Chain A
């Protein structure tokens, strides 16, 4: 059993429509369930609610766990060549909507590009798609609708020009 650092956040609105945030910090055992965490968050919100004249518009609990082992580090030739602007996007269908959900992959790997196009057959891409579509993974779009199938993919570019110019030696 490990303890995790957790933040409880509450969003409040006052009588003038001005929004504010409320934060508390906790250390919770990782054996706690989502139900227990949500329940404890509710107890906190109720205690805060008694102290404020503003009204809650939302609550959330934020966990910042350590990064898992085995991820690549910010070193090496391949990483040095990587570019955030090069973004892969995989489009998914979702249950209960005709609208697609696009999953963005920043600094998309050159190894997953073939003939100048997004190579959806690439093994790493297929592993990610399988993960997102696995029913026991419970992955959804932003509206909590389960992902159904990968429809297509494209290679796009999202500029971060103001950040890129910082890194050049003039």
Chain B
């Protein structure tokens, strides 16, 4: 049994409409259920509420486990050539809406690009899409509507000018 770090935060609003956040940290055993986590945060919010004259208007729990093993590290030629500004954008239909939702994959792998387009029918992107559209996995759009099927994919461009200017290039 391991302990998992948690971060509880909330936003407090005062009588002038000024908002500020405050937070606490927990490290409970990994056998704790999400219901217990939410209940624990509720207890903290109740005790905090009694100590402040402001009103708590929002809350959030962040679960921060260690990185799982087996992921690639920030080394090697393939990683050295990766670019976050060239994301893959995969478009999914969702249950109960005609509006599509897109999953953005930063630094899309060169191996997932065929003829200048995302290889949506290839094994790798196919595995990712199967994970997101298999109902029992629980994936949704931001409105809580279950993802149904992959519709299309494109390669986008998202500039990070400040970061790029700060990165170490010899001029």
* B115 interface residue per 8 A CB criterion: no
The residues of A that contact B3 with a CB separation of less than 8 Å are 138, 144
- Are B61 and A83 closer than 8 Å at their CB atoms? no
Other-chain contact of A79, B35, B55, B81 (Cβ < 8 Å): B55
- Quote the shortest CB–CB distance from A82 to chain B (angstroms): 4
Chain A CB within 10 Å, residue with most, of B40, B65, B108? B65
The residues of B that contact A164 with a CB separation of less than 8 Å are 16, 18
Interface string of B131-163 (1 = CB under 8 A from A): 110000111111010100000000000101001
- Quote the shortest CB–CB distance from B64 to chain A (angstroms): 5
* B114 interface residue per 8 A CB criterion: no
Query: Complex: how many Å from CA A68 to CA B168?
Result: 48
The residues of A that contact B30 with a CB separation of less than 8 Å are 33-35, 38
Other-chain contact of B59, A53, A65, A131 (Cβ < 8 Å): A65
Other-chain contact of B37, A25, A54, A63, A64 (Cβ < 8 Å): A63
Query: Complex: how many Å from CA A78 to CA B160?
Result: 45
- Are B127 and A52 closer than 8 Å at their CB atoms? no
* A170 interface residue per 8 A CB criterion: no
- Are A166 and B17 closer than 8 Å at their CB atoms? yes
- Quote the shortest CB–CB distance from B75 to chain A (angstroms): 8
List residues of B whose CB falls within 8 A of some A CB. Answer: 2-5, 12-22, 24-35, 37-38, 40-65, 67-68, 70-75, 78-85, 87-88, 103-110, 112, 124-125, 127-128, 131-132, 137-142, 144, 146, 158, 160, 163-164, 167-168
Report 6 cross-chain contacts, Cβ distance below 8 Å, ordered by A residue.
A12-B106, A17-B168, A33-B34, A51-B108, A51-B112, A82-B15
List residues of A whose CB falls within 8 A of some B CB. Answer: 2-6, 12-35, 37-38, 40-65, 67-68, 70-74, 78-85, 88, 103-112, 122, 124-125, 127-128, 131-132, 137-142, 144, 146, 158, 160, 163-164, 166-167
